[in-house]
Structure 1
Amino acid sequence: MIRLVPNQATQIQRSEWVTFTFDGTPVEGHRGESLVSALMRAGHLNLRHAPNDKAPRGAFCCMGLCQECAVVVQGQVVEACRTDVTADLVVARADV
């Protein structure tokens, strides 16, 4: 028998909302959450294109092993799953 637990979502305390940009478009996320989480919640699933066939790429492992979520932040290629959201972050697709 499966025992259902009460919905505890209202007890989760999140940090404040901040705004950053992805390819020039404003996106909101919680300060300190992973960049890939904020981008996915905002509907940005295609974070870069594969170098050979230009196929869309996005989040895969979400723990920094696959590098599929690579984006450009402040001019540096980083993994979105290992980068925290901060206010005024400038993020772009990493089409490298």
Structure 2
Amino acid sequence: MTNRIINHPILDKVDDTAMVSFTFNNTVLRGLKQESLAAALLANDIRTLRVHEETGSPRGIYCNIGHCFECRVTVNGQQGVRACLTPVQEGMTVSSGEKFLTSVKDWRLNNE
């Protein structure tokens, strides 16, 4: 089995025997029930979670503790969810690759 984050400092201990299925960019993957979405994606060899708002460069997990916001994905239609703090759940639908709005800059561009 792939190395997993079993004792997360925020999400607590994960049962390494309970598996769930979730979808990432239309591909069904498996993760440990209640492990972080970031950990489940890493265990499935997913490194790019989104693209930079201005340059389009790939972004992935950076701090893995919720401070940097680099791991934002769309979960069940909700944009900007931090994968490192979100427990993976059965049937969860996750997507990436979108350029998320940068509220101050985009507001200015749309209102000038």
* TM-score, L = length of structure 2: 0.72
SS of structure 1 residue aligned to 2:41: helix
Structure-2 residue corresponding to 1:79: 82
* Equivalent residues of 2:24, 2:95 under 8 A apart: yes
Residues 15, 32 of structure 2: 8 Å contact kept = no
2:65 match:
63
Q: How far has the Cα of 1:14 moved from its partner?
A: 1.4
Offset from partner CA, 1:35-61 (integer Å, 9 cap, x none): 000001101100000011100000000
| 1:38-57 alignment runs, 5 A limit | 38-57=40-59
Residue by residue, what CA displacement relative to the aligned partner does 1:35-89 show, whole Å, maximum 9, x if unpaired?
Answer: 0000011011000000111000000000100000000001112000010011000
Rounded to whole Å, the distance in 2 between the matches of 1:37 and 1:14 is: 12
Distance 1:30 1:57 in 2: 23
Out of 15-24 and 31-40, give the one that drifted further: 15-24
Structure 1 distance, partners of 2:33, 2:87, is 7
Structure 1: give runs of 5+ residues left out of the alignment.
1-11
- Partners of 1:55 and 1:30 in 2: CA distance: 29
Q: Which runs of 4+ in 1 moved over 6 A?
A: none
Distance 2:71 2:35 in 1: 15
Asked whether 1:25 is paired with 2:43, we answer: no
Percent of aligned positions with the same letter in both sequences? Answer: 36
Q: What residue ranges of structure 2 are gaps of 5+ in the alignment?
A: 1-13, 101-112
Correspondent of 2:91 among 83, 88, 93: 88
Greater length-normalized contact order (CA 8 Å, ≥ 6 residues apart): 1
